[in-house]
Structure 1
Amino acid sequence: MDPVTPVQETTTAAPAPGPPPPRPRIGERIMAAINRDPLTAPHALRNDAVLALLTTTHAIVVALLTDEGRRPDALGWTLLLAAQIPLVWRRRRPMLVLAAVVALIGPYHALDFNHAAPTPAAYVALYTVAVTSRPLRALLTGGIVLAVPLTVMVVVNTHQAVELLRISGWVVVVIFVGIDVRFYRQYVAAIVERAERAERTREEEARRRVAEERLRIARDLHDLLAHSITLIGVQTSVAAHVLAADPERLDRQTVAKALDDIAETCRTARGELRTTLEVLREAGTPSDGRDPLPALDGVSDLVEAARLAGARVEQTVRLGPVPPAVGAAAYRIVQEALTNAVRHAGPEPSVQVTLHEQDGALHVSVTDDGTGPDPGGTPGFGLVGMRERARSVGGTLDAGPGEQGGFRVTAVLPLSTTDRTQARGTR
């Protein structure tokens, strides 16, 4: 029986909890309560129940210890305590709660019980209506609430009616405080909404830039790899043909040249790929100082590579200074057009590359005498990428069969910022 190897248990220590967040100060909590919408505040029912309990305690203490009217009897206590209960639901039904409170304290005042005891409940109900209703509705409701007890007191006790009229300013104060808090909350909500809208806009802009960057990377990799792989494929076919054509009379010089061309193409592709990856990693200029954007100076290298692949290429370039972005777009368009010509135009195609400036725009033309892409073949991303290259600088691109046969790619790329802006606006 094989000995059992003891299993050593390892335990991962839980990360030490960080310091608890500082508790908000009392002023911050008060402002948070003021800013909060009373209809959506958390624990609203519980908080209103506590508030009703506080007003009940106040009513009992005032009714027992002050002489504002006679002390309540059994009916008075019933009316006084019952007036506090609706406050528990003051946020859900403000008008109904206010009506219930007024209906209970009206008979209470009519019986000339302690007039100061039910005042807080009435103020709380009135404030809730003012802070949750439109200002005009709150003012009309306050007027009605003030008129009802005044009418009752005029009938019961004229002296108390005058006293109630004297302190009615507090009712007006409560109404206007509620209206002011309502306006302040609307102002804070508008600021928060604008901030959230701005944040959403920033997030959408960031997503758009990420999408554009991914598309640019896809175009760069496609242009680089498709061009290099096509050339390597053609050069490999040349070497394979030489090896298989007449093994006894092997043309070592031709094979060696084809292999050297393959090695050079691989080095060039590796260099461009490294530059692209450095740009992606550093989000800036590579440390070795190479420009990540290809320039029109490299068109001659593209032409030479196409010639090595068997194409007969002629180039005509009449240009002055070109913006880097426009030059990079033109370079990639020529690169993809030459790749398509080598791949689809047949053996030893004749290709004409022309770049010239006219009417403030760079005109690019690549024409071959081949048959063009196979209409029944699987569509690739070359033509789509070239059109996106042209659109990225505000230009246009056309690709299709030429008038004299073959296949033709033409692009017009504005050289000025104004032209590029107008071109974007007309798309």
Structure 2
Amino acid sequence: MTPFSAPRRPFSRPVVGGPPVAVGDVALAALVLVAQVVLAALLPVGFASHRPDALGWALLVLGAVALVWRRRAPMACLLGMVAAVAPYHYLENIQEAPILCSGVALYALAVAGPRARTLVVVPVVVATMAFELGSLGKPDGFTDTLRSAGWIVAVAVIGEVVRIQRKYVAAITERAERAERTREEEAARRVAEERLRIARDLHDLLAHSITLIGVQTSVAAHVLVADPERLDRTAVAGALDAIADTCREARAELRTTLRVLRADGDGPLPGLAGLPTLARAAQAAGARVELTVDAPGPVPPAVGAAAYRIVQESLTNAVRHAGPPAPRITVRVTGDAAALRLLVRDDGPGGADSGAGGF
């Protein structure tokens, strides 16, 4: 037996037509059989009936045994029950004994559905009973048929009500499971979007800082190698100080970003107030930055953070790809109550804007 295989139960072989026969089905059939035997043995003998003989007992047993397949094949169960009970009645055995197996078979058929089959089978069963009673030559056979038809219809109605109730519960359960799956898919989508946003923010932050550090390191290396005899210690110290400042600013911004991601609430998003720091970092890398901020007062945090990231990425690209040794970069932030506009322009090859837009 593999680790994932379940132990087999007796009477539990799966079939295509319905659920497998379970131990409970056999137990119910045995209980009905015992009750029918007790009724056939203890009920008084009527005017036109007698105690079952050997054939009568066998038919009574077969009618109860057919109930084993009541869930797996309800129509076959009903036909098997009728095949056993009809000759039992025809032989004028005690008529009340097989009532239990008849009721259980009809109930199982109604519960299994569909409704159209039940509506067809019930009149057929009533007509069969009328034919049997008529063949026995009873003068009140029609009255007995109507009296028996009452419990037949009642059993069928109860089975139909149970079927509808089960179908309703199954529909509610399915809707709940579908809603749960939808919530899980929505949560997974939001997690994926949040991961993408985190990756984008960290890329913007680290790419900017690493680019500036690389440029500043190149400047320091050029100063050291270009003319060792006339070493400009002030320039080297300035480049190293700029590298240290960039590292500190990157570390502080990374700490702020992580606090926001952890939802601590004490780490504000970067905004327009951080643009001068970005300009100083670009100037430390050798660029000439002209920054103009003319915003209409406080802007929403999300808008300010978006503007900060756009300017940060634009400065990074200008410092990395600009042609002149000291590129000139113009950054303008303007707006009104309805929109915020950004313009980032450098004097690199082509003279095109590094970034421009509004939101």
- TM-score, L = length of structure 2: 0.88
> Which amino acid is 1:113 matched to?
N
CA RMSD, Structure 1 to Structure 2 (Å): 1.9
Quote the Cα distance in structure 2 between the aligned partners of 1:247 and 1:326. Answer: 48
Distance apart, 1:158 and its partner CA: 3.3
Task: Say whether residues 1:408 and 2:354 are aligned partners.
Answer: yes
Quote the Cα distance in structure 2 between the aligned partners of 1:284 and 1:130. Answer: 61
> Which amino acid is 1:224 matched to?
L
> Which amino acid is 2:24 matched to?
N
- For the residue of structure 1 that corresponds to 2:22, the secondary structure is helix
Summarize the alignment of residues 107-126 of structure 1 with structure 2, pairs less than 5 Å apart.
Answer: 107-126=87-106
- For the residue of structure 1 that corresponds to 2:356, the secondary structure is strand
Q: Can you list the C-alpha shifts for 1:361-418, whole angstroms capped at 9, x where unaligned? A: 22222222224xxxxxxxxxxxxxxxxxxxxxxxxxxxxxxxx6345322332xxxxx
Quote the Cα distance in structure 2 between the aligned partners of 1:314 and 1:352. Answer: 5
Summarize the alignment of residues 26-45 of structure 1 with structure 2, pairs less than 5 Å apart.
Answer: 39-40=18-19, 44-45=21-22
* 8 Å contact kept, 1:228–1:265: yes
Paired position in structure 1 for 2:217: 236
Quote the Cα distance in structure 2 between the aligned partners of 1:412 and 1:132. Answer: 65
Quote the Cα distance in structure 1 between the aligned partners of 2:291 and 2:355. Answer: 14
Q: Can you list the C-alpha shifts for 1:323-356, whole angstroms capped at 9, x where unaligned? A: 1101101110110111011011132122221222
* 8 Å contact kept, 1:370–1:407: no
How many equivalent pairs are there? Answer: 337
Quote the Cα distance in structure 2 between the aligned partners of 1:199 and 1:221. Answer: 33
Paired position in structure 2 for 1:76: 56
Task: Say whether residues 1:132 and 2:124 are aligned partners.
Answer: no
Q: Can you list the C-alpha shifts for 1:164-222, whole angstroms capped at 9, x where unaligned? A: 42243221111111111111111111111111111111111111111111111111111
Quote the Cα distance in structure 2 between the aligned partners of 1:126 and 1:73. Answer: 26
Identity of aligned residues (%): 55
2:37 to 28, 46, 60: 60
Q: Can you list the C-alpha shifts for 1:304-327, whole angstroms capped at 9, x where unaligned? A: 211111112222322113211011
- TM-score, L = length of structure 1: 0.75
Distance apart, 1:240 and its partner CA: 1.2
1:269 to 222, 247, 250: 250
In structure 2, runs of 5+ residues without a counterpart are 1-16
Task: Say whether residues 1:336 and 2:313 are aligned partners.
Answer: yes
Distance apart, 1:154 and its partner CA: 2.4
Quote the Cα distance in structure 2 between the aligned partners of 1:152 and 1:124. Answer: 20
> Which amino acid is 2:183 matched to?
R
Paired position in structure 2 for 1:369: 347
Task: Say whether residues 1:87 and 2:63 are aligned partners.
Answer: no
1:213 to 158, 175, 194: 194
> Which amino acid is 1:230 matched to?
T
> Which amino acid is 1:200 matched to?
R
Distance apart, 1:243 and its partner CA: 1.3
* 8 Å contact kept, 1:45–1:89: no
In structure 1, runs of 5+ residues without a counterpart are 1-37, 372-403, 414-427
* 8 Å contact kept, 1:296–1:330: yes
- Cα 1:161–1:104 change in 2 (3 A) is farther
Quote the Cα distance in structure 2 between the aligned partners of 1:314 and 1:408. Answer: 14
2:331 to 349, 353, 360: 353
Quote the Cα distance in structure 1 between the aligned partners of 2:332 and 2:254. Answer: 27
- For the residue of structure 2 that corresponds to 1:353, the secondary structure is strand
Summarize the alignment of residues 164-179 of structure 1 with structure 2, pairs less than 5 Å apart.
Answer: 164-179=145-160
Quote the Cα distance in structure 2 between the aligned partners of 1:406 and 1:242. Answer: 31
Quote the Cα distance in structure 2 between the aligned partners of 1:57 and 1:75. Answer: 17
Q: Can you list the C-alpha shifts for 1:210-265, whole angstroms capped at 9, x where unaligned? A: 11111111111111111111111111111111111222222111111111111111
Distance apart, 1:270 and its partner CA: 0.8
Paired position in structure 2 for 1:300: 276
